[in-house]
Amino acid sequence: MQIAQNSVAAFHYTLTDDEGQVIDSSEGREPLTYLHGSGQIVPGLEKQMEGRAVGDKFVADVTAEEGYGVHHAELMQEVPREAFQGVEDIQPGMQFQGRGPQGEINVIVTKVEDDMVFIDGNHPLAGKTLHFAIEVTDLRAATEEELAHGHVHGAGGHHH
């Protein structure tokens, strides 16, 4: 069996940046399980998973456009400190949810200067090429219920 539309695949991964620094890994955890074709993993990785089988080990390089998107300068803003009502001590690295033109947006504080807070609404991996080392560990056909719900159920997946 090969990974295709509506199959459930599980894989171990190590994600690194261009410098080889590990960003994330499934090492020491259960493999990541997803419903292929449902947009649960970044598009570039999903494309490279297509046609793979259990036991396959490969490296997938994913461009920013097919990963977490390009970096948008307009999502970086300076906001008056008073916009953060009820938050006494605003520090770089703090995350908040705000409203943007397309609805809710997650932002991270990048800098605080006097009465101004600098925020970034880009995904932390936006604009970066992603380097995945992949090992496919399991593969099966999705159940009717999983297809109806659009996600994996059971071991390694979502429970209702």
Tens-level pLDDT at each residue, the chain (160 residues): 999 999 999 999 999 999 999 999 999 999 999 999 999 999 999 999 999 999 999 999 999 999 999 999 999 999 999 988 888 899 999 999 877 667 788 899 999 999 999 999 999 999 999 999 999 999 999 999 999 988 898 754 444 4
Does the domain formed by 7-68+126-149 have CATH 3.40.140.10? no
DSSP, res 5: T
Give span(s): CATH 2.40.10.330, the chain.
Answer: 73-120
pLDDT at 158: 47
> With 0-12 CB in 10 A as exposed, 13-18 as middle and 19+ as buried, what is 25?
middle
**Under CATH, what is the fold of the domain 73-120?**
Thrombin, subunit H (2.40.10)
Q: What is the pTM of this model?
A: 0.80
